[in-house]
Amino acid sequence: GGGGSSGGGGGGGSSGGGGDRNGSSRSGGSSYGGGGGGSSSYGGGGGSSSYGGSSSYGGSRGGDRNGSSGGYSRNGSSGGSYGGGGYGGGGGGGSYGGSGGRGGWGSSSKSSMAGGGLTKPKWDMARLAPFEKDFYQPTAVLNARPEHEVEEYRARHEITVRGSCMVRPIQFFTDYNLPEFVMAEIRRQNYQVPTPIQAQGWPIALSGKDFVGIARTGSGKTLGFIMPAIVHINHQAYLKHGDGPIALVLAPTRELAQQILSVAKDFGSSSRIRATCVFGGAPKGPQIRDLQNGAEICIATPGRLLDILEMGKTNLRRCTYLVLDEADRMLDMGFEPQIRKIVDQIRPDRQTLMWSATWPREVRKLAEDFLKDYTQLNVGSLNLSANHNILQIVDVCREWEKEEKLMKLLNEMTQEKTHKTIIFCQTKKKVDTITRVMRRTGWPAMCIHGDKSQQERDWVLKEFRAGNSPILVATDVAARGLDVEDVKFVINYDFPSGSEDYVHRIGRTGRSDKAGTAYTFFTKDNIKQAADLVAVLQEAKQVVNPELGEMAQIAQSMGGWGGRSRWGGGGGRGGGGGGRGGRRW
């Protein structure tokens, strides 16, 4: 990013330090500050102002999921009130980008990272108040069920359990002595049987054990950790004035956090459990007020929660139940330092549940650091796989053909009785462009991405859910957090950066055992993902476009990009080879 004469430079991203907004009044500095980093996809550095970091003692959040630098509200420049003196330090490095630029004379300080103002408590286990966490109460029916029936159920639903807590799955709600306040809500919601992740996850969680749950989207995991949280809270002492939450759920996006809040309110209301949601992009005042009034459940994005903890407006001394939802996604977004700062504030003998769609090395390391003697629960194939209820169609084409193909697809889709559609683009600029083109041609399209205000995003999602605007154009900000039951179609206008994001995108359709269709435009620019996409299609028993298969073979012959699985990273990229002529892609 560009640096001012005496100010700190913006943070660097892998595709350029400052993006197209570098130095603008929105992200740039004033007085003695250096130019702020751009808010483009891979850019990112916090703008600085008047001897230090902008906004609240740090750089602005910067880019989207692939370039969030300058920290989350406080992380970024090390100048300002909490900085290292002089004329301001440099912006923080982007998640995938390089390190931030250095300030003129500023030095770093511990507050150059989010949560730098917090100190790790020295826990004296002998003086900590005891709490209950084992509530496992199987019925005689569950205990009497033959072992072969249990194993048949696990095999049928591809359930794998590793660890010391090998409890039997709750196949029916009557298998377990669930509290009446839980059963009342289950009856009201007309749930028939637990989903596989709930059936096996509930008894592990209710036993008070730490566990990692690995399952694809749409598996019912939210209730998988909210129901045990409510039982856990009901067995603890009431909150007193000044106490923080008993259950804390960390989530990567505000959309996902709000959806978890909805489930928590539904199932907590009958036992008068209060839940609140803490996330950036909305005023802090009401969120702080909810916490100080006594919310037993707090669902939070890491950056905003750290802000409130540093302000001294709440604490985690009473927290005994911790959930990390979509842990892989939070690591992708660069939240690991914030997560570690938060977990440091929670007593070590807490119960911890971690949920993830994948199980790469980074997530395994987090589990080893945060969980004790944990049980690992997998539901579904151990390889990266898509929901088999989704018809996947891949159209190999040129970039300039996409717009016309999109219009033809939309004309075909509107013949369907239900045609709620999500269109994914790779950049915020492309989302805005495609939305404008569609609206000009009469399509009722609306869009969301990271530059939209929280109020606008909430309104757009409300309109989409209600069906008033049945076409939503979005970046990956909505790929994991968006939970709408009746999405019929997903269109990948731009192919994502990896096959895992592809699986999560198309997982917005085909939920609750309903059929869905995913269309994908695939160009020569995506050739390095061809082999991974072919593997996903073959696993789901889908027809593989011959042109896509040819691209995969060419990519592998050029040095190859190793395929990926849910259990590890992909192979290294080899050297590029010369192109072959004559193909339309």
pLDDT tens digit sequence for 435-464 = 999 999 999 999 998 888 878 888 998 899
Please identify, among 379, 411, 438, the residue that sits at the C-terminal boundary of a domain.
Answer: 379
Query: Are 486 and 348 found together in one domain?
Result: no
Q: What is the mean pLDDT of the chain?
A: 78
Report if residue 23 sits inside a domain. no
Say whether pLDDT at 474 is over 90: yes
* Alpha carbon distances (Å) from 101 to 34, 36, 80, 89: 10, 10, 16, 8
- Looking at the fold, whether 324 and 350 belong to one and the same domain comes out as yes
Alpha-carbon gap, residue 479 to 329, rounded angstroms:
10
287: helix, coil or strand?
A: helix
Pairwise CA distance, residues 280 & 257, whole Å? 11
As a whole number of angstroms, the distance between CA 417 and CA 196 comes to: 31
- Specify the pLDDT at position 333: 82
| Percent of the chain that is helix, strand, coil (3-state, to 5) | 35, 15, 50
Mind listing the pLDDT tens digit for each residue in 313-372? 999 999 999 999 999 889 878 899 999 999 999 999 999 999 988 787 888 899 999 999
**390 forms bridges with which residues in the sheet?**
516
- Greater confidence, 26 or 473? 473
Statement: residue 75 has pLDDT above 90: no
Mean pLDDT along residues 420-430: 94
Q: Which of 11, 74, 81 is nearest to 51 (CA)?
A: 81
Residue 329 and residue 478 in one domain: no
C-alpha span between 282 and 304 (Å, rounded): 10
pLDDT at 302 over 70: yes
Q: What is the pLDDT of residue 164?
A: 83
Give yes or no: residues 169 and 318 share one domain.
yes
Query: Does residue 365 belong to any structural domain of this protein?
Result: yes
C-alpha span between 392 and 162 (Å, rounded): 32
Residue 239 lies in a domain: yes
- Which run of H or E residues covers position 250? strand 247-250
- Whether the per-residue pLDDT at 564 is higher than 60: the answer is no
- What CATH number is attached to the domain comprising 352? 3.40.50.300
Are residue 372 and residue 255 in the same domain, yes or no? yes
Cα atoms in the Cβ-side hemisphere of radius 13 Å centred on 41? 13
CB-CB contact of 72 with 338 (8 Å): yes
The least confident of 114-128, 166-180, 197-211, 346-360 is 114-128
Same domain, 237 and 179: yes
Same domain membership, residue 276 and residue 313: yes
What single-letter amino acid sits at 179?
A: P
Token pair recorded at residue 449: 């991405």
Give kind and range of the element (H or E) at residue 59: none
Task: Please name the amino acid found at residue 555.
Answer: A
| Cα separation values, 62 from 21, 73, 259, 321, 478, Å | 10, 10, 25, 32, 18
* Dist CA 474 CA 478 (whole Å): 6
> Residue 575 falls within a domain, yes or no?
no
Residue 498 neighbours by CB under 8 Å, 6+ apart: 529, 532, 564
What lies within 8 Å, CB to CB, of 521 at 6+ separation is 395, 397, 402, 405, 406, 491, 492, 493, 494, 495
Q: DSSP string spanning 41-56?
A: TT-----EETTEESTT
What does residue 394 show for φ and ψ, rounded to 5 degrees?
A: -110, 125
CA end-to-end distance (rounded Å), the chain: 36
pLDDT of residue 398: 96
Do 401 and 320 belong together in one domain? no
Q: Which residues contact 382 (CB under 8 A, 6 or more apart)?
A: 160, 565, 566, 567
Q: Could you tell me if residue 122 is inside a domain?
A: no
> Which of 318, 350, 379 is the last residue in one of the domains?
379
- Is 116 inside any structural domain? no
Residues 294 and 436 in one domain: no
106-154 tens-digit pLDDT:
333 333 456 677 888 888 887 888 899 999 888 999 999 999 999 999 9
Residue 309 in domain = yes
pLDDT at 284: 94
Residue with tokens 């028939």: 192
* Whether residue 289 is found in the same domain as residue 435: no
Which comes out higher in pLDDT, residue 218 or 265?
A: 265
421, containing H or E segment = strand 421-424
Residue where a domain terminates, one of 334, 354, 379:
379
| pLDDT the model gives residue 224 | 94
For residue 567, being part of any structural domain is answered with: no
Cα–Cα–Cα angle for 491, 476, 339, nearest 5°? 155
* Ramachandran angles phi, psi of 303, nearest 5°: -60, -50
- Residue 286 in this model has a pLDDT that exceeds 70: yes
Most confident of 56-70, 71-85, 317-331: 317-331
Contact (Cβ atoms closer than 8 angstroms) between residue 398 and residue 585: yes
Domain count, the chain: 2
DSSP-derived 3-state class of residue 214: strand
Distances (CA, A) of 174 to 139, 187, 455, 500: 8, 12, 42, 36
One domain, residues 295 and 425: no
454 in the same domain as 431: yes
Q: Which domain holds residue 410?
A: 390-559
